[in-house]
Chain A
Amino acid sequence: MADAAAHLVRGGNHLRVSPCSRAGGVVDETETLRDFEAYVAVAWPRLLRSAWLLTGDWHRAEDLLQTVLARVYGRWPRVRNGVPDAYVRAMLATTYLNWWRRRWRAEVPTERVPDRSGADPHADAGVRNVVRAALRGLPHQQRAVIMLRYHADLTEAATARTLGISVGTVKSYTARALAALRADPTLQALLTEEANR
């Protein structure tokens, strides 16, 4: 390695990257990949759940998350120094809205494939189904706002910055989405029942 570098210098081409620094680059790249994959291995289930909140379908959620993570990989050295989960969830929301505008609106599903869920023995089926139904009824922007505010735990200002809308719009979307949840009579009954337990 040292010989090769010396040869380059002797050749007088000081602008070329020496083999030493190129090897260093390879090591960095491998480390970045390893670090990124270690993060994905741990964060995958929670990020996939966030994606499901947007899409309401596991396979679309997986597709959405894969697309976002492939983009995040290129920015990983910068992203890992911040709060990666928040960053990925913000990208999930913006990519989801872009897809909805450009891709899913053009696709006409011929048949609805039921979501096959894994075992979920501890979940409260009543609340789960009602909230799920209420989520399905929300417009896409409101779903994105709800996911960012309550699942990614972003502030109103951060949600507004992420989606490129005003804080007032975030407040209004949040209020409307919550009103839709509250308005559901089954959910209301279930919540009252739970509160009285």
Chain B
Amino acid sequence: MSHDRVAHLLEQAIPGIPEELRRPPLAKLRARARRRRTRRNAAAAAVVTLVLAGPALWYTSTLDGPQRTAPAGPGGPAAAVNTGLTWWMARVDRAGTQVTLFVSRPVDGPACQGSWSPEATFATDAATVIVTVSDGSVTGVGCASDNKLATVQITLPEPLARRPLIDGYDDTRRPVYREADQPQVPGGSAGWSEVPTTFSAPRPVNAELPAVWNVSYTRPGGPDIKIRGYPADHLLAAVPKTEPVGTVEVAGTRGGIYPTGLDRYLVRWEAPGVVYNLTVLPTEGAYVSLPTFRELLARIGVS
């Protein structure tokens, strides 16, 4: 086969470029080049600092009596940028101290290198809690193999209460879904069990950010209970256009019951920064009338 024949065959083998990729993403390229330059400059600065400060640090450490310890708390935004991890939302347990973070690499982060080992550090004060996640793997820029959000847990020394949680990656407040703001669904043999939810990580081609909370409870014979949480500015957090058919109290907050179709209802209530919707899913073929819906709500402490 001649050189030209092979070249021609290869040309023939390449499919047509999909419509969405035909034009170069110049804005993305500019941003990537800028980030690359920033990282390179930061690395150069770190090397210079190390060269200049290293001998001084070594000298002072040999003079000091008491052992020095590394400062506690987060690495801060710069450290997070270097490790390239962010978290999208948090679940806080009923006691307010166990915080579960849902972590991934940022959409426009550095190229993934191998598997990862996400870990978190935090700093608290009276007004806020800043949580920074980083990758403890050898490469420091690993990623998940299944494109799901990983969970990382931290335990706060005191309840979070109404303090906002800030992601140290970009100093931005993230939605917090507190169990204390949700009804306590009874477990055990006569109750429901929670269905574990996995959340997909955002992809560059599908950049919807994973900030919507979802938890379901099931029991044999149904009906299942589904609670969804939205950041307050989310499109689906808006008040339904239908008139409410009743009001209830959910975890100390007033909520409304809204019809969403034939024999379908949802309870909507608000908590700081987020909005919740609760629906019930009957078994196939069954329906839930308003009295049945109310009866079910009463069983989970919503009345």
Binding site for B on A (CB under 8 A): 33, 37, 40-41, 44-45, 48-49, 52-53, 58-59, 62-63, 66-67, 69-71, 73-74, 99, 102-103, 106-108, 110, 115-120, 123-124, 127-128, 131-132, 135, 146-147, 150-151, 153, 178, 181-182
Q: Which one, B33, B112, B204, contacts A74 given CB within 8 A?
A: B33
Q: A40-B26, A53-B10, A146-B10 are in contact. Are A120 and B15 (CB under 8 A)?
A: yes
Q: Total interface residues on B, using CB and 8 Å?
A: 42
How far is A29 from B145 in the complex, measured between Cα atoms in Å? Answer: 39
Bound Cα distance from A178 to B15, whole angstroms: 20
How many A-B contacts are there with CB distance less than 8 Å? 122
Task: Across the A-B interface, give the 3 residue pairs with the lowest CB-CB distance, nearest first.
Answer: A120-B16, A131-B13, A118-B16
**Do A118 and B115 have beta carbons less than 8 Å apart?**
no
Chain B residue at smallest Cβ distance from A63: B204
Instruction: Check B24 against A150 for contact (C-beta < 8 Å).
Output: no
Query: A108 touching B145 by the CB < 8 A rule?
Result: yes
B36 within 8 A of A: yes
Q: Which of B1-9, B239-247, B265-273 contacts A (4 or more CB under 8 A)?
A: B1-9
B158 at the interface (CB under 8 A from A): no
- Chain B residues packing against A (C-beta within 8 Å): 1, 3, 6-7, 9-19, 21-26, 28-30, 32-33, 36-37, 40, 111-115, 139, 142-143, 145-147, 204-205
For the complex, give the distance between the alpha carbons of A53 and B11 in Å: 9
Q: Are A70 and B17 in contact, with the CB atoms below 8 A?
A: no
Whole-angstrom CA separation of A73 from B31 in the bound complex = 11
- Chain B residues with CB below 8 A from A33, complex form: 30
- In the complex the two chains form, is B12's CB within 8 Å of A70's CB? no
Interchain CB contact under 8 A, B13 and A107: no
Nearest chain B residue, comparing its CB with the CB of A116: B18
Contacts of A102 in B (CB 8 A): 113-114, 139
Contact partners of B114 in chain A: CB under 8 A? 102-103, 106
List 22 A-B residue pairs with CB atoms under 8 Å apart, sorted by A's residue number: A37-B26, A49-B17, A52-B14, A52-B15, A53-B10, A53-B13, A58-B15, A59-B21, A67-B32, A70-B33, A70-B36, A99-B111, A103-B113, A107-B112, A108-B146, A117-B18, A118-B16, A131-B13, A135-B10, A150-B3, A150-B10, A153-B7
